[in-house]
Amino acid sequence: MWTRVLARLTTLVLLAPGAQAFAQSCAMCASSFGPNDPRQRAFNWSILFLMAAPYTIFGSAVLCLVILYRRGASRRRAPVIELPWARRAGARPLDPEEA
């Protein structure tokens, strides 16, 4: 008798959080708010915004870095190697102090 009551109470306690979660439903479930509920529209717009935001923000950051990289790469000088036979041939030294 008591074992059966305890088992039923335990079952109810275990199912209670699930029932509460089911009642709250999912934010993305369009049918949970009814046909003309403004919350449905609100969640839709918010989901669209939050879906676009990461792509926009990270895309802007990557674009910014690409532009900075190209500007920086164009300013870089090519490595110059001064060859001894070019100096002997009378070429203008790269460093004016060496002249």
Q: How far is CA 8 from the centre of its chain?
A: 47
Q: Report the 10 Å Cβ neighbour count for 33.
A: 16
Q: Report the 10 Å Cβ neighbour count for 87.
A: 13
75/92 with CB nearer other proteins = 75
Shortest distance (Å) from residue 92 CB to other proteins = 14
7/62 with CB nearer other proteins = 62
From residue 27 to residue 66, what is the string marking binding to other proteins with x (rule CB under 8 A)? -----------xx-xxx-xx--xx--xx--xx--x--xx-
